[in-house]
Structure 1
Amino acid sequence: MTDSDTGTAIRAAATPPPGDDTRLRIFSTSDLAGIDISLADVVDTVEGAYLTLHAGRSDNPRKLTVKPQDGHSVSYAMLGRDGTRNVVAVKTSYKHGLDKGREEQHYYTSLTLYDDVTGLPVAMMDCSRIGSLRTPAVSALLARACAAPGARSALVIGTGTQGRLALPFLLTTLPGLDRLMLFGTRPEGIAAVGEQLRTHFPDRDVELVTGLRAAAADADVIVATAGAHTPAAVEADWLKPGALCVLVGHGLAPSTLHQADRVIATSEAQMNVTGTDMADADGELPAVDAEFPAVLAGTAAGRHSAQERVFAYNSGLVVTDIALGHRFAQLALARNLGTEVPLWQ
């Protein structure tokens, strides 16, 4: 099914009867949990969103951020338009308890889609599963585009939501990886990483490492997904020539950015907003050499040589959430999932 066919199908399924624009279809966490979608489907959907953005047919304005002075919470609002699917969407994200342990934190994220052809709402959904798939898919695309030729080893730092699917997605885009390493501190998270890897690649095993410096020195690709309280902080002088570092959360020291031979970001503007913890002693971030949509489109290079150490900053772009959320809405509507709410009556 082409993108235009997909857009037509979901509009037909989601549009209320003529003259009735008062209802909104809501997809809960449990509705979306049962949707079967392949890793390759996710990667293709996310890649298509980047290419449409690069072509100038989508809009992805800078996110809005609100954070109280004491730093106990953070919230984001992201508006975007997908030019392939003709969908406008708003994503909100709110995390509370940043000054507390993981078990005491609260996190909510939602996505609301509107059809920009009919002018009618498509759906509102919990965005947690979409984010848990979209982000490691982007890391895997960054690895495919920016890793040195013949990359064989990968190290994932962190075992939370983003760390658990990092290795399966990396194997989807870099099937030649033969050494898969994991650095984590939470037993339940480590077990979950292994479970996800066996689910998608039952013939592959993950190697739990405790010596972070030695593991980083052997890794062609490092994906740092850990939380803010991680003890991990890989330094630039630990890295082998040609290493690629992908930052999603925490686990890399600022030196990996400032001493990189090449810096790629999904969005330089967003890196300047959300990447301030990687600033130097003067509070400065280095300039980005290329943004990732241009790298995917082939108009900018992910790297210039096999020896370059490349740093890639993976911050979420709402156009990728829109594309993947739209795909989930299509699959959910085909199964008649969700609840219609007369929101505007």
Structure 2
Amino acid sequence: MTDTSAVPAGTVTSGDDTHLRILSRTDLAGIEISLSDVVSTVEGAYRTLHAGQSDNPRKLTVKPHDEHSVSYAMLGRDGSRDVVAIKTSYKHGLDKGREDQHYYTTLTLYDDVTGLPVAMMDCSRIGSLRTPAVSALLARECAADGARSALVIGTGTQGRLALPFLLTTLPDLDRLMLFGTHSEGVAAVREQLRGHFPDRDVELVTELRTAAAEADVVVATAGAHTPAAIEADWLKPGALSILVGHGLAPSTLHQADRVVATSEAQMNVTGTDMADAEGRLPAVDTEFPPVLAGVAPGRRSATERIFAYNSGLVVTDIALGHRFAQLALAQGLGTEVPLWQ
């Protein structure tokens, strides 16, 4: 196991102006990194963005008319690391089941001090860690004091690490619930939870309305074909609902007492399925970076129902991707490609 603390947070050995180091999914899969390291890295990216040191422009989106696929391009700059990067994402088969879909995502990093490339990497593991870490930070800042129960909807990539990350930022949670319809996904959620917290288990729920009424924190990570759709009046006073994928009905947004978004601009691009009958989304009360910085409150009262929209910001991908690049280069991982020769 790699001691991640032994790799300085601000140094990466860049290549030269003719070669690009490629970090494959296999290269990144073997790198050990703690959940707390991931949370700290992601939180640092948000704080740097709020301080005005980073740039996170709105993502570009392309969809065909029948919406069978979607592609994104995201450019950003991390000012604390002096790294520029572009992330691309392409998913095909949105009209099909999960097993018939194709998904590819990459991140290319450049050192903005030397002007040299750092690496191009598969970004699937970065996203699988970054997103639940953001949900866990949202829960830490926006859940009611004394929150003890959490419900996760969905057992796909984002659902499988949701509970371990929640326990990292809210260690006092004592009831963990899961709603999922895929047996292999449920088994994967349990495996991930026990891998990080061997003494904890998850309660599989089938009565979603009952579970939602008992949850202090709800994290909806399911795919588009989920039967789950929690309504606002199912939630108890003081509940926090976090939308990552699907599993919440639009009423949880439109009837919320407070709306928090990682980025209002991104929510307006990717959250259109939560629009009302007139195609409108409500205004966001606060974005999340000011909450983390202590400038805006995450919660104003113990009883308000809060809706939080977790959309990926490329600055968090850059920070975590850079962290993985540090660890990978320290181990000599990756393949040098003479791309510009």
Q: TM-score range by the shorter chain?
A: over 0.9
Aligned match of 2:316 = 320
Aligned match of 1:149 = 145
Q: Pick from 330, 333, 339: which aligns with 1:334? A: 330
Deviation at 1:101, TM superposition (A): 1.1
Q: Pick from 16, 34, 56: which aligns with 2:30? A: 34
Structure 1 residue ranges (4+ consecutive) displaced by more than 4 angstroms after TM superposition: none
Task: Give the structure-1-normalised TM-score.
Answer: 0.97
- Equivalenced residues, count: 337
Distance 1:101 1:162 in 2: 16
Partner SS for 1:164:
coil
Q: Pick from 209, 220, 223: which aligns with 2:219? A: 223
Aligned match of 1:6 = 9
Partner SS for 2:177:
strand
Distance 1:299 1:285 in 2: 24
Deviation at 1:294, TM superposition (A): 0.5
Aligned match of 1:241 = 237
Asked whether the 8 Å contact 1:77–1:92 carries over to 2, the reply is yes
Identity %: 84
Aligned match of 2:280 = 284
Aligned match of 2:189 = 193
In structure 1, runs of 5+ residues without a counterpart are none
Pair 1:118-2:114 in alignment: yes
* Alignment of structure 1 residues 49-60 onto 2, 5 Å: 49-60=45-56
Pair 1:91-2:105 in alignment: no
Q: Give per-residue Cα distances to partners, 1:150-200, cap 9 Å, x unaligned.
A: 000000000000000000000000000000000000000000000000000
* Alignment of structure 1 residues 69-108 onto 2, 5 Å: 69-108=65-104
Q: Give per-residue Cα distances to partners, 1:44-74, cap 9 Å, x unaligned.
A: 0000000000000000000000000010100
The code of the aligned residue for 1:39 comes to L
Q: Give per-residue Cα distances to partners, 1:104-149, cap 9 Å, x unaligned.
A: 1000000000000000000000000000000000000000000000
The code of the aligned residue for 1:276 comes to T
Aligned match of 2:268 = 272
Pair 1:176-2:172 in alignment: yes
Partner SS for 1:181:
strand
Partner SS for 2:9:
helix
> What's the RMSD between the two structures over aligned residues?
1.1
In structure 2, runs of 5+ residues without a counterpart are none
Deviation at 1:5, TM superposition (A): 5.1
Partner SS for 1:75:
strand
Asked whether the 8 Å contact 2:177–2:205 carries over to 1, the reply is yes
Distance 1:169 1:102 in 2: 24
